[in-house]
Amino acid sequence: AQSVTQLGSHVSVSEGALVLLRCNYSSSVPPYLFWYVQYPNQGLQLLLKYTSAATLVKGINGFEAEFKKSETSFHLTKPSAHMSDAAEYFCAVSSGAGSYQLTFGKGTKLSVIP
Amino acid sequence: EAQVTQNPRYLITVTGKKLTVTCSQNMNHEYMSWYRQDPGLGLRQIYYSMNVEVTDKGDVPEGYKVSRKEKRNFPLILESPSPNQTSLYFCASSPLGTGSAGELFFGEGSRLTVL
């Protein structure tokens, strides 16, 4: 069984400030981990994924995430927030290579204050 | 343009009136899946399909049916909708292959209200 916990259902940052969205996972096997982003009135799109290669993963739009096995975490960061980053972000876990079944977190809504 | 297309995008219906939400993808993906999104609950999987004629239950299949007669289409059927099925529904697809596992392409969503 696997699960994902996203800390904070709503995060607000000022434009230009660091973005940090937290995700902790639980998995009985080495996981694959994902961050998806959902812009208003749109479907989700893949931001980045971890597949047991490099622990620091770079994604689109300047986002990156670091896999920390000891902390069972996969936090999403971006050095400088833009207004266009305002969206809902979902962390997801699967049970590794060949598994298409994702378990999603409840989501974190990011607001960017001008 | 590569895409997953859902119809209708918005629907208001009444309890018990059968409805179908269509999903079609033009990327020749083998894997397709339906999710529902509810505030504070994130996305929960309803049904999925690994290929034509192969479907399986997700986490919340009660009250739903699916079929996969063609590779590109994966309709979601609500035989007798109830108010607790009011939700935002997403269809997603993915190619099979170890490198793409978990990389889902989502439709834009179908907002369903059952009165």
Length of chain B as a residue count: 115
The nearest CA of chain A is from the CA of B62 a distance in Å of: 18
Does residue B109 register a pLDDT over 90? yes
The nearest CA of chain B is from the CA of A17 a distance in Å of: 26
The model's pLDDT over B31-53, given as tens digits with 9 standing for 90+, comes to 999 999 998 899 999 999 999 99
Strand partners, B89: B36, B110
* B28, two tokens: 């020749």
A91 → chain B, closest CA residue: B42
How far lies B15's CA from each of A94, B19, B76, B94, in Å?
A: 35, 10, 17, 33
Interface test with A, best of B7, B59, B90, B106 (most A CBs within 10 A): B106
The predicted structure's pLDDT at residue B67: 96
The model's pLDDT over B90-108, given as tens digits with 9 standing for 90+, comes to 999 998 876 777 889 999 9
Contact predicate A21/A110, CB 8 Å: yes
Contact state of B108 with A42 under an 8 Å Cβ cutoff: yes
A5 → chain B, closest CA residue: B42
Contact predicate A55/A30, CB 8 Å: no
Could you give the count of Cα atoms lying within 13 Å of A6 in the half-sphere of its Cβ? 29
What span, in angstroms and rounded, lies between the C-alpha atoms of B41 and A103?
A: 12
